[in-house]
Amino acid sequence: MAEPWSGCPARAYDHEVVLARRNEPEILAAPSAPSAPSAPSARLRLLTVGVAVTLAVAMAVALLRVADGRPDRATVQAGPSSSDPILGATTPAPPGVELQLELGWRTLLADGDKLVVGTRPLAERDLLLAVLARDDVAFSAFPADGAVLVVGGDRLKAKHVADISRATRTTTADGGEIVQIGPDAMVGPGPALDLGPPKPMAGGVAVRLGDVPQSSRTLAAYLGPQADPALMRQAQAMAASVRLRPVDPATIPPPPPGSRPGFDSGEASGQLRPVVSFTGAGSTYTARAGGDCADVVISGSTQPLAGGCSAGRPAGGGLQVVAASSHPGSPPAPPLGQTFAPGRGPVLPAMIVLGRLGSEAHDVVAVLVDGQMIPASVGSDGWVLVATEGRPFLLEVRDAGGKPVTRTPVT
């Protein structure tokens, strides 16, 4: 039985590629009791079939050449979509990203400015992981001989991070140290429109990351343990062909009033009361709600870290992700016998997810990209809270027996 899903990204498939893949000769069944044709008639029929096959092949090659001017590649595009996330009914819109698809590859997902192509299909769960374009995911059933190229990214992960080894350090008169991080110390995900060195991941899958300059998008190529190395060279060629296209602002829905980073669905205001707490990622977090809106604060502070508004409490066993955000978190305790100078201890990043659960469900589990499962806290009026050190990409609603009932992506 197919697993229940809600909020999955819609998919649109490129018709040129489908048409090209259908260019295969058909085998027609012969009559059950054919009459013996004369030799000239048989030769004429054979010649006619040969000409028809030749014309069919020529037409297919011409179609591919129209697409890109080359007989072994076709253009695939992804554009902003006003699609229903469940039904997948899309409205035509200008493309947001395109690339030149190599022969033998197919479009797995094309939605907004995200595009996933591969040589083998991916399970829905693995497709959700792939589109994040991360190097720390654990696929559940990645095809051993398959390859996947992603133009995507994770909005909860900074695209550029500071390389402390490139920072400028200055010693003050009192013996202190000032660390200055300039533009040269910021490191991106990989080379521009190319793929960096391979990195092994769980299950024998290798990943190579790259960058799409002047955008929030990144590149990721995944290769199964038994895949032909030539597939990675094809992935590099496709990465070099990635182009971003202008998007009509009219196709982008306006954000809710009061929304901002960490508050994608609006902001709670007025008299707020604590509804649920969660201890994890080195701290205790509390969600405070007022009506259908809530925010999240860390222990000892009243400054909201994330929040938003739900569309009322979901019916039955439904779940709505209200907000997902990341923040630096709290520094851990120093190793035994050592002390950290103020402000110099390592900081654990924390991922916060706030949701709301229907009245007929009880338990929620956050599934992380590396496969870990963290039980979330469920409080009054269905508010759900979880904070993790790893990246959660799914929230599973489970029944009394611990069986998943629904799965909601955390995007």
- Cβ distance 209 to 190 under 8 Å? yes
- Residue 296 inside a domain? The answer is yes
237 and 88 assigned to the same domain: yes
- Residue 395 has a CB neighbour count (10 Å cut-off) of 26
245 and 346 assigned to the same domain: no
Q: Provide the number of structural domains found in the chain.
A: 2
- Residue 152 has a CB neighbour count (10 Å cut-off) of 25
293 and 352 assigned to the same domain: yes
277 and 355 assigned to the same domain: yes
215 and 311 assigned to the same domain: no
Q: What is the pLDDT of residue 253?
A: 66
Determine phi and psi for 51, rounding to 5 degrees.
-65, -40
Sequential pLDDT tens for the chain (411 residues): 444 444 444 333 333 333 233 333 333 333 334 444 444 444 444 444 444 444 444 444 333 333 333 445 566 666 544 333 322 333 333 458 889 999 999 999 998 789 999 999 999 999 999 999 999 999 999 999 999 999 999 988 888 877 667 777 788 888 777 777 777 777 789 999 999 999 999 999 999 999 999 888 999 999 999 999 999 999 999 999 999 877 677 766 666 655 566 566 666 777 899 999 999 888 899 999 998 999 999 988 888 989 999 989 999 889 999 999 987 654 444 455 554 444 444 445 689 999 999 988 889 999 999 999 999 999 999 999 999 999 999 999 988 888 888 999 998
- Residue 221 inside a domain? The answer is yes
231 and 320 assigned to the same domain: no
293 and 373 assigned to the same domain: yes
Its domain, for residue 337, covers 273-409
Looking at the DSSP bridge assignments, the partners of residue 100 are 75
238 and 331 assigned to the same domain: no
Cα 91 from chain centre: 21
235 and 134 assigned to the same domain: yes
Closest of 94, 32, 102 to residue 74, by C-alpha: 102
230 and 306 assigned to the same domain: no
- Residue 168 inside a domain? The answer is no
120 and 244 assigned to the same domain: yes
Listed in sequence order, the residues at least 6 apart from 98 whose beta carbon sits closer than 8 Å to its beta carbon are 75, 76, 77, 78, 115, 242, 243, 245
Q: What is the pLDDT of residue 230?
A: 97
Round to whole Å and give the CA distance between 133 and 155. 11
- Using a 10 angstrom Cβ sphere, with 0-12 exposed, 13-18 middle and 19 or more buried, the burial of residue 113 is buried
- Residue 287 inside a domain? The answer is yes
- Residue 362 inside a domain? The answer is yes
- Residue 291 inside a domain? The answer is yes
134 and 280 assigned to the same domain: no
Q: What is the pLDDT of residue 255?
A: 63
Listed in sequence order, the residues at least 6 apart from 321 whose beta carbon sits closer than 8 Å to its beta carbon are 7, 353, 354, 355, 395, 408, 409, 410
- Residue 178 inside a domain? The answer is no
- Residue 173 inside a domain? The answer is no
